[in-house]
């Protein structure tokens, strides 16, 4: 398995980092995650741009995913060029120089029991 699977442009229209959590951090802290799988033989260089309702986009946030590796990155860990506000609607676009697969997940622990959701991202190109 060394074939590069996926696409080079992905979009996730939903994004929201709950401002509260219930349970031990970091595992059960409320978070949104972008899961990236790079099955190929080349390191993937990614640029993530974050869109908002009422201001210009933030980013790009730069990441690398080594060959034959996966990275599950929490949006609340983004720091450069700026951290993301909590309790704020956003969306994201992921650009890669090699094909990758992108899946989106949220864990929400604002109330007494956590809830999780997931969807494949939109493959734009």
Tokens of 50: 């974050």
What lies within 8 Å, CB to CB, of 61 at 6+ separation is 47, 48, 49, 50, 78, 80, 81
Residue 80 lies near a copy of itself (rule: CB under 8 A): no
Residue 46 lies near a copy of itself (rule: CB under 8 A): no
- Tell the smallest beta-carbon distance from residue 118 to a copy of itself (Å): 4
Q: By CB under 8 A, name the one of 21, 35, 43, 76 that touches a copy of itself.
A: 35
Distance CA 53, CA 13 (A): 11
Q: By CB under 8 A, name the one of 8, 21, 71, 76 that touches a copy of itself.
A: 71
Residue 45 lies near a copy of itself (rule: CB under 8 A): no
Distance CA 82, CA 109 (A): 24
- Tell the smallest beta-carbon distance from residue 81 to a copy of itself (Å): 14
Q: By CB under 8 A, name the one of 8, 60, 63, 76 that touches a copy of itself.
A: 60
Q: By CB under 8 A, name the one of 8, 21, 26, 27 that touches a copy of itself.
A: 27
The DSSP-derived string for 31-50 is: EEEEEEEE-SSS-EEEEEEE
């Amino acid at each position: 398995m060394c074939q590069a699977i996926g696409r080079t442009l992905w979009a996730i229209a939903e994004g929201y980092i709950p401002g509260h959590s219930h349970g031990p951090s970091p595992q059960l802290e409320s978070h949104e995650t972008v899961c990236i799988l790079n099955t190929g033989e080349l390191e993937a260089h990614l640029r993530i741009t974050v869109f908002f309702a009422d201001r210009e986009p933030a980013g790009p946030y730069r990441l690398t995913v080594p060959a034959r590796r996966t990275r599950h990155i929490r949006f609340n860990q983004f720091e450069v060029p700026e951290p993301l506000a909590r309790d704020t609607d956003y969306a994201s676009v992921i650009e890669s120089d090699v094909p990758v697969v992108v899946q989106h997940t949220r864990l929400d622990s604002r109330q007494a029991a956590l809830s999780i959701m997931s969807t494949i991202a939109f493959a734009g190109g």
